[in-house]
Amino acid sequence: MIKRIFDFIFSFAGLIIISPFLLILVIIVIIDSPGGAFYLQKRVGKNNKDFSLFKFRTMHKNADKKGLLTVGGRDGRITRAGYFLRKFKLDELPQLINVFIGNMSFVGPRPEVRKYVEMYNDEQKKVLSVKPGITDVASIEYFNENELLGKSENPEMKYINEVMPDKLKLNLQYINSRSFIKDIGIIVKTIKKIFV
């Protein structure tokens, strides 16, 4: 209950406070490349239910049809503005909307696309017992995941066989020991990771 109150108040306040900044980013994204400012992607949330995740569009239109993973620092599908947005995680800001309406939290396992969730074993599916979040321990640990995958000859297989299982392991550890205080710590660590 405390977590939902925190999520509701701070997502609402955040959207109000940074709305002028969000408007600037909307304009930048639209001017940089055609296709609209926002990108809605189906992700899997609590209780294995799909929901629409909000992000600023960082790729050229229909680029996701060429693959769901982005790899390396210079994925050709990413727009000029997209590189900047991704570097500072600004493309994630619209997820405050998801937190406000209640299908995400500030802290929780990052929501995955259905394709990869279908590969989870029974133990790993336990991450679907809680609301997904904007950030989590795995996001901090794999902050430069795109660059890591970019160094692999087969990025998707590396993700499926190495990165995804390790992230799920971290998320399961979080679920088993989560608390409001630990969530605050994860938020602080995430902010430090972005700006330090």
> Would you state the pLDDT for residue 153?
87
Task: With CA atoms as reference, report the closest residue to 41 among 108, 104, 130, 125.
Answer: 104
Instruction: Specify the number of domains making up the chain.
Output: 1
Taking the mean position of all CA atoms in its chain, how far away is CA 103?
13
- Look-up of token digits 């609301």: 131
- Burial classification of residue 169, based on how many CB atoms lie within 10 Å of its CB (0-12 exposed, 13-18 middle, 19 or more buried): middle
- Domain range for 47 is 2-195
More confident residue, 188 or 75: 188
Q: How far apart are CA 107 and CA 84, in angstroms?
A: 24
User: Is this structure's pTM higher than 0.85?
Assistant: yes
Joined together, the tokens standing for residue 152 give 């692999």
pLDDT score, position 89: 87
Write the CB contacts of 190 (distance below 8 Å, at least 6 apart in sequence): 135, 139, 140
Where would I find the H helices in the chain? Answer: 2-17, 19-32, 80-87, 95-101, 114-117, 137-141, 145-150, 155-158, 164-177, 180-195
Over residues 170-187, mean pLDDT: 96
Task: Identify the pLDDT of residue 71.
Answer: 58
